[in-house]
Amino acid sequence: MAKFKVKDLKLAEQGKMKIEWAESRMPVLAALRAKYKKTKPFKGFKIAGCLHVTKETAVLIKTFIDAGAELSWSGCNPLSTQDDVAASLAKDGVSIFAWHGMNTKEFYWCIDRTLDFKPHLTLDDGADLIFTVHKKYTNLIPNIIGGTEETTTGVHRLRKMAEKGALKYPVFAVNDMITKWDFDNVYGTGQSSIDGILRATSVLIAGKNFVVAGYGHCGSGVANRAKGLGANVIITEVKPTSALKGTLEGHEVMKMDEAAKVGDIFITATGVKDVIVGRHFLSMKDGAIICNTGHYDCEINLVELEKIKKSKRTIRPNCEEYTLNNGKKIYILAQGRLVNLSAAEGHPSEVMDMSFANQFNAQLALVNMYKSGKKYSVDVHKLPDEMDQEIAGVKLATMGLKLDKLTKEQIMYNDDFSAGT
């Protein structure tokens, strides 16, 4: 049996059913599985993965295994692992090191274990695995063909590494694919973040002042879902174009110092630290609810909150009540970690289907390039646009939706720059 460390193997049966549920909603991965089951293009290749251990990730893992890969996996957030899913994977022989509620030391211990088997490829969500390789396991780098990265924050880290000459092997930015970026980040984050808030609090969203910090793809997804539920959405931003977009999409725009005074529910989706800090907590209304959906837990400054609190208790799962020195009570969800994955189950299977098809294709591109005897340059790459259209095409077909086709005349018109008024 493969090496693993999970919370409780007895949860495996429950996890198996959860994975089956996801599988039935992930037709693009099913198509990839069917396509590569016989040829097994990953045969002989070892992938180390560091990505949320959810039912959807389990479907991705099984797709890689069917395509011949050997895997070793850890979660990419201390609170996002679904223990039943991890147990099911371990029982099926996957080398997995993940459990819900681990501390930071255990988090990196798990990453270290996935590197014990000397991978040829890395797969990240947030870049902690690839960063660990570059910091602590440079001896593994000559053996590594390349890596892939799932999320905005991770891609940002990798681009900074590349800019500074610190990146030592090629990586694909899965996040930059349209079928990831325009769907997972918007509709996935939008729905799953609201799901997390509701599971942790069960409050009514309608009529609330719902403050969204950051109006990028993720923030706008959350804002528009909250608006759909009847909230009065307030945006805080640092980027003029994003703030402008927010206001034209019908939301109020103000500084966090002002929003802090009127918000009922706050969610951060910025990718930077210290978005909500001590002075904001002190000016909030009694009963304010605060959470984060950015990758790292640095957006809400909990260190400052600890300094201004009188007491604290867990009032509901994933909901911490802080009584402040000024007598008001405020509520922090999921310890300031990703609320959608900590208090709910992450994005729905239907969107992860496309994101993970891109992960699969990007890993396959690295393997195919290696087999051809050539190399990608050491940089952050993107798959060709046609691969996006292919994934979207399969998705549409499985939804029973049909497209028009350009006629020959329309194609000629498109190619003809002389055609005008």
Contacts of 261 (CB under 8 A, 6+ apart): 283, 284, 285
Q: Tokens at residue 155, please?
A: 């891609």
Residue 144 contacts ligand ADE per CB under 6 A: no
Minimum CB separation from ligand ADE for residue 341, in Å?
A: 6
Of 56 and 388, CB closest to ligand ADE: 56
SS (H, E, C) 219-280: HHHHHHHHHHCCCEEEEECCCHHHHHHHHHCCCEECCHHHHHHHCCEEEECCCCCCCECHHH
Looking at the Cβ atoms of 263 and 346, the one nearer to ligand ADE is 346
Per CB under 6 A, contacts with ligand ADE among 370-399 are none
By beta-carbon proximity to ligand ADE, the closer residue of 200 and 352 is 352
| CB of 87 closer than 8 Å to CB of 15 | yes
Quote the least distance from Cβ 20 to ligand ADE, whole Å. 15
Q: At its nearest, how many Å lie between ligand ADE and the CB of residue 60?
A: 8
Q: Does 27 bind ligand ADE (CB under 6 A)?
A: no
Buried b or exposed e, range 53-68, using 16+ CB within 10 angstroms: bbbbbbbbbbbbbbbb
Please choose, out of 152-160, 239-247, 344-352, 377-385, the segment that lies near ligand ADE by the rule CB under 6 A.
344-352
Nearest residue to 125 (alpha-carbon basis) of 65, 50, 63:
50
- Interface residue with ligand ADE, options 346, 357, 362, 365 (CB under 6 A): 346
Counting contacts by CB under 6 A, is residue 191 touching ligand ADE? no
Longest Cα–Cα distance of the chain, Å, equals 73
What is the nearest approach in angstroms of ligand ADE to the Cβ of residue 304? Answer: 28
Give residues with Cβ within 8 angstroms of 351, minimum separation 6: 183, 184, 187, 188
Residue 180 interacts with ligand ADE (CB under 6 A)?
no
Q: How far is the CB of 195 from ligand ADE (least distance, A)?
A: 10
Site for ligand ADE in 192-221 (CB under 6 A): 192
Q: How far is the CB of 56 from ligand ADE (least distance, A)?
A: 4
CA distances to 70, 74, 370 from 367, in Å: 13, 22, 5
- Does residue 52 belong to the site contacting ligand ADE (CB under 6 A)? yes
State in angstroms the smallest separation of the CB of 345 from ligand ADE: 6
Give the range of 65-73, 173-181, 300-308, 345-353 binding ligand ADE by CB under 6 A.
345-353
Helix (H, G, I), strand (E, B) or coil at 149: strand
Report, in Å, the least distance between residue 346 CB and ligand ADE. 3
Q: What's the CA gap between 171 and 72, in Å, rounded? A: 19
Interacting residue with ligand ADE among 16, 91, 251, 347 (CB under 6 A): 347
Cβ of residue 184: shortest distance to ligand ADE, in angstroms?
A: 7
The Cα–Cα gap between 355 and 349 comes to 10
Asked if residue 357 binds ligand ADE (CB under 6 A), the reply is: no
| Contact pick of 33, 42, 56, 171 for ligand ADE (by CB under 6 A) | 56
Q: Which two tokens stand for residue 174?
A: 């899965």
How would you classify the pairing of strands 146-149 and 121-124?
Answer: parallel
Per-residue x/- marks for ligand ADE, 284-323, CB under 6 A? Answer: ----------------------------------------
Element (H, E) at 381: strand 380-381
Of 185, 256, 253, 259, the closest CA to residue 222 belongs to 185
Which one-letter amino acid corresponds to residue 331? Y
Least separation, in Å, of the C-beta of 264 and ligand ADE? 25
If the CB atoms of residues 320 and 345 are measured against ligand ADE, the closer one turns out to be 345
- Residues engaged in binding ligand ADE (CB under 6 A): 51-52, 54, 56-57, 188, 192, 341, 346-347, 352
